[in-house]
Structure formats: structure tokens, C-alpha cells
Amino acid sequence: MSHLQQSFTVQFVYNVFFTEKLFDTTNSLFADFFHQQATSATQKKLLFVIDSGVVETHPGLVAEIKAYFTQHADVVDLASDFLIIPGGEIAKNNPVFVEKIVDAVDTYGIDRHSYVAAIGGGSVLDMVGYAAAISHRGIRHIRIPTTVLSQNDSGVGVKNGVNYKGKKNFLGTFVPPIAVFNDSTFLTTLDDRDWRAGISEAIKVALIKDKAFFEWVETNAHALAARDMDAMQYLIHRCAQMHLQHISGGDPFEMGSSRPLDFGHWSAHKLEQLTNFELRHGEAVAIGIALDSIYSQQLGWLTDADTNRILTTLRTLGFSLYQPMLDADNSAGVLKGLSEFREHLGGQLTIMLLKDIGLGVEVHEMDATLVRQAIATLREHELSTTV
């Protein structure tokens, strides 16, 4: 029988801007963006959704944004209401927030050429990105990430999502933002845990792809722990750049089987869940990196010296590398994370391990006994450090 073959490519382009004091009336970056986007046809609208945690630490933010668009009134019509949404997993767990945004899109007549901007941590960005992606088959979505993790990793990428009946990111799409604005001002008010947590994604990407970048982190670990902003800005810029290169150089919408940037993540996802999200994603990833580095060492792939450099760098940054839930060795334990990780990716299990610092290699199985040994090693290190 006959068939017709359909084949086309779609190009996606967006910029990730680095700035400070984005809404200071003297900073024209944001207004310039709307000017460049403008077409003669119709005035675009802009709706803001803001993480409540950001509003708490930046109580003047809404007034500042209003003042900004009073000054730049010609570029876009600002929706009169600002939606304030709780940050963290709550934003992704409760479906009422997606509905709130969809309803606001309707109320304010936000069409496919208008904008929904989200200011917040990764969870709020994921949830708002999802609501924008499904409204009118996709409204233009601007991301303004406020944490280290979202500025160097999730916020600059192409994924969005919400949880469904307790299943992480069960609903979501691959849709790039129209622009990302990384404003370092928001980093100054982060608590130490959030400041630190985002660094683990930079270490992850350095370990599997860029030895020089790992050595930079190693050298600057004390400065980063002491909240040196210049060091942090370099780290975010380089990590975001590598994340973007990984997306554009590979399989942006993950139609194939592998996700080689996910070093240390199979156990991290499970640990987050086992600790009821008490452990932040980046904290869990630090443990996951330590675990899979030791596993690589046990395979004889990574030298003892290099393994210790990795563990020492993580500890210098202030990460704790052991969590008691690692030892919940039953059917719901951390090893269950392997099958869940496969199911989430679809297709074959693919895990990244290290052949060297800066050289990740994919494997398709992990040995449960070796994983338990790696956990035992982490527990011993922890006991010897805290005694």
C-alpha cells in the first residue's frame, strides 16, 4: 500500500542573558528585548508569575517591576495582576497552580505572541513553563531564574513539567523559552543551602566533559563556599554554556535513549523522594556524584587520587555526602531508583560513569553489590569525618 512521508525541521533560537538589577529603570536590557521582538502588528501583553519565596526576600520586587514598565510603557502591556505562587515542589504537586495560570491567560487575553514571565526557582519555572506550553498550544515564555541551580541548569534548558499523583515530572513537554534572564542580584539573598546546591550540577558537567572546569571548581571551592560572587558568576556562565551546548549538540527533545548529562542522577532522584524532598535536588546530586565516582573507582576506572579530589571538592563546598536513606536497602530503597530511572527515560537503562575526571562513559547496567559497597564507603567516610 502507498504512503506519504512527512519530514521537516523546526529551528529554535533563544538567548540566555546575564545581568544584574534587571528591573532597575536604568537597565534597558529587558525593555530592549521586547523592542527587538516587536512587530508592527499589535501590542503584546506580559503576565508575571512570581515565586512567593522571592517576594519574601525581595519585598519591593512587584513595585519595582511596575515602575520599570511605567518607564518603558511602550514596549509591552503589563497585566495588572501578578500571580504569586509558592516555591519548591508544592508548585509542581498541586494542579491548582497550573489552572490559575491558564485562567489568567484567558482573563488577560494572553495570545500566542504574548508573554508569560516566571521569576523563581526551578520548580516555579518548570510549572509556569508547562502552563505556558499548553495554553493556546504555546505562549511565549520568559524565564527569570533566581537560584544557582535554575540559572546554570534547569532554567536555561528546554524542559518543563509538573508532578502528577506524586510522580515527579509525570506531565510536561519539551518547549524552549523565548528568553532567559539570569540576574545575579537574586543570588545575594539565597540561603547557604540553595547557594551551595546549584554548584553540584556544575561539578557534574565538569566531571563528565571538562577537566579544566573541574580543576577551576577545585581551586575555587573555598571562594565559592565563602559566597564569592565573581567566582559564582563564572561558574554559572560556564555551566549554563555547557548545558546549552549539550542540548544543541545532541538530542534536544530526547527522542533517543540516552541522557548523558545525568551523571549521579539515578540515585539523586530516588533520594529526594525517599527524604520527602527534605534533601534539595543539588544536595542529592552531590551524594549521587560521590556514589557513582566511588562506583567508578571500584570498577578500576577512576584512580584513588582522582576519586579523593572529587570527594574533597564536594566536602570543601560544604556538601554532606551521606544520607541515612541510602541504607534503606529494601524494595523501596535507593536501588529501586535504577529501574525508575530507566522507566522515566524510556527504552534502555543508560547510566553515566567516569573513566577519568572530564571523561564520562555510558553503561547500561549497574551491579547491586558494587552499589552497596559504594554506599558503605560513603557511610564510613562520613563516620570517620564526624568522629
> Rounded distance, CA 361 to CA 356, Å?
9
Between 7 and 386, CB nearer to a copy of itself: 7
Of 134, 148, 287, 310, the residue at the interface with a copy of itself (CB under 8 A) is 134
Coil/strand/helix, residue 255: coil
Residue 174 bridge partners (DSSP)? 159
Query: Which residues, 6 or more positions from 79, have their beta carbon under 8 angstroms from its beta carbon?
Result: 45, 46, 47, 48, 104, 108, 110
Give the contact letters, 5-44, x = binds to a copy of itself (CB under 8 A), - = no: xxxxxxxxxxxxxxxx--------x---------x-xx--
Q: Look at phi and psi of residue 7 and say left if phi exceeds 0, alpha if psi is from -120 to 50, else beta.
A: beta
CB of 143: closest distance to a copy of itself in angstroms? 12
Asked if 72 interacts with a copy of itself (CB under 8 A), we say no
Amino acid 132 reads A
Residues 216-275 that bind a copy of itself (CB under 8 A): 237, 240-241, 244, 247-248, 252-254, 257
Within 92-111, the residues that bind a copy of itself by CB under 8 A are 102, 106, 109, 111
Residue 137 CB, shortest distance to a copy of itself, in Å, is 4
- Give the neighbor-by-neighbor strand order of the sheet with 179-183: 77-85, 45-51, 115-120, 140-145, 179-183
Give the interface size with a copy of itself as a residue count (CB under 8 A): 67
Which span (61-69, 129-137, 277-285, 288-296) binds a copy of itself, by CB under 8 A? 129-137
174: DSSP letter? B
List residues bridging with 138 in a β-sheet.
Answer: none
CB of residue 167 to a copy of itself, shortest distance in Å: 7
Of 129, 142, 123, which is closest to residue 54 (Cα–Cα)? Answer: 123
Cβ 125 to a copy of itself, closest distance in Å?
A: 15
Best CA proximity match to 164, nearest among 84, 92, 62, 264: 92
Handedness of CA 32, 38, 42, 46 (dihedral sign): negative
**Cell reading at 142:** 520568559
35 or 222: CB nearest a copy of itself: 35
**In the complex with a copy of itself, which residue's Cβ is closer, 165 or 331?**
165
Binder of a copy of itself out of 56, 81, 170, 219 (CB under 8 A): 170
- CB-CB contact of 160 with 130 (8 Å): yes
What does the binding site for a copy of itself look like in residue numbers (CB under 8 A)? 1-20, 29, 39, 41-42, 102, 106, 109, 111-114, 133-138, 156, 159, 161, 164-165, 167, 169-176, 237, 240-241, 244, 247-248, 252-254, 257, 343-348
